[in-house]
């Protein structure tokens, strides 16, 4: 019984406190009047927190939620619903406790429950994973329309959103950038590279639209730009590496 009382107290001690988000935050306040327009009708991926202002668990999550929203700005939308005030929205999505986080991805009518850690880093990781799945779903929906009639990398219309990188422009474009870069190292004679090219071009367009240009897809001819190939230990084709600003300069976050 004592534990039950303590648990209830954690969500009642702050009953007079209002929501902790303001217009200066990167968290978007959602209500019944704007939820459908902002979330359901949007092409963007959304992370939505359903909260009650008086709940201590919500208050502890708030700074991490703000952190995640800032990190994901212009890449993934991060919102919040006062489900105590707007109980219709909470009820619509089966919210039974606070805070509840849901991910609105490919199927906006069936959001996924977020079950991960309650830190900014964990939330960002989950968002990027969901974003990757959203792009894969869209690529699957487009079928083979990107691969027919295209050979190699000579068709400029098929790669308009893929940025060509060289030994001369790599550092300025990638390492000095605030954006996330996914870089494919390829060889023109490689059959696997030729098979990947239309899919890489399609992904570049999808990701550009989804993230408003904050995530970029690029390509390096590793047979010509051997300085880069040597620097990043390229031994097979194609090799894809991810570069992100908050990692050590020049060191990719991971291989794909």
Residues 6 or more apart whose Cβ sits within 8 Å of residue 105:
45, 111, 112, 130, 133, 134, 137
pLDDT on residue 109: 87
Q: State how far the Cα of 59 lies from the Cα of 15, in Å rounded to an integer.
A: 11
Question: Any bridge partners for residue 241, and if so which?
Answer: 183, 255
Q: Please check whether residue 80 is in contact with residue 69, taking contact to mean a CB–CB distance below 8 angstroms.
A: no
Q: State how far the Cα of 26 lies from the Cα of 233, in Å rounded to an integer.
A: 38
pLDDT on residue 215: 92
pLDDT on residue 53: 94
Strand order, beta sheet including 215-221: 163-165, 215-221, 180-186, 239-243, 254-255
pLDDT on residue 70: 95
pLDDT on residue 236: 92
Q: Please check whether residue 184 is in contact with residue 196, taking contact to mean a CB–CB distance below 8 angstroms.
A: yes
pLDDT on residue 21: 87
Q: Which domains does the chain have, with CATH numbers?
A: 28-138 (3.40.30.10), 163-243 (3.40.30.10)
Spell out the per-residue pLDDT of the chain, length 256, in tens: 334 333 433 443 333 334 678 888 999 999 999 999 999 989 899 999 999 999 999 999 999 999 999 999 999 999 999 999 999 999 999 999 999 999 999 889 899 999 999 999 999 999 999 998 888 888 876 433 333 333 344 444 446 899 999 999 999 999 999 999 999 999 988 989 999 999 999 999 999 988 888 999 999 999 989 999 999 999 999 999 999 876 555 556 555 5
Q: State how far the Cα of 94 lies from the Cα of 107, in Å rounded to an integer.
A: 16
pLDDT on residue 253: 55
For 191-227, the three-class secondary structure string (H helix, E strand, C coil) is HHHHHHHHHHHHHHHHHHHHHCCCEEEEEEECCCCHH
Q: Please check whether residue 36 is in contact with residue 89, taking contact to mean a CB–CB distance below 8 angstroms.
A: no
């Amino acid at each position: 019984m004592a534990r039950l009382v303590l648990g209830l107290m954690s969500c009642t001690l702050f009953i007079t406190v209002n929501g902790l988000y303001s217009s200066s935050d990167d968290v978007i306040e959602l209500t019944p009047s704007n939820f459908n327009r902002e979330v359901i009708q949007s092409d963007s991926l959304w992370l939505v927190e359903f909260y009650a202002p008086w709940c201590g668990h919500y208050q502890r999550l708030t700074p991490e939620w703000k952190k995640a929203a800032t990190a994901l700005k212009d890449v993934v939308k991060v919102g919040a619903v006062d489900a105590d005030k707007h109980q219709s929205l909470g009820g619509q999505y089966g919210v039974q406790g606070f805070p509840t986080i849901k991910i609105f991805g490919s199927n906006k009518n069936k959001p996924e429950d977020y079950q991960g850690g309650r830190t900014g880093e964990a939330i960002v990781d989950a968002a990027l994973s969901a974003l990757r799945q959203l792009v894969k779903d869209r690529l699957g929906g487009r079928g083979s329309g990107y691969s027919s009639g295209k050979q190699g990398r000579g068709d400029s219309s098929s790669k308009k959103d893929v940025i060509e990188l060289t030994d001369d422009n790599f550092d300025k474009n990638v390492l000095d950038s605030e954006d996330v870069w996914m870089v494919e190292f390829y060889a023109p004679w490689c059959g696997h590279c030729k098979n990947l090219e239309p899919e890489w071009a399609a992904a570049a367009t999808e990701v550009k639209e989804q993230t408003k240009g904050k995530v970029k897809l690029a390509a390096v001819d590793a047979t010509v730009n051997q300085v880069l190939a040597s620097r990043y230990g390229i031994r097979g084709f194609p090799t894809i590496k991810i570069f992100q600003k908050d990692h050590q300069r020049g060191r990719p976050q991971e291989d794909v």
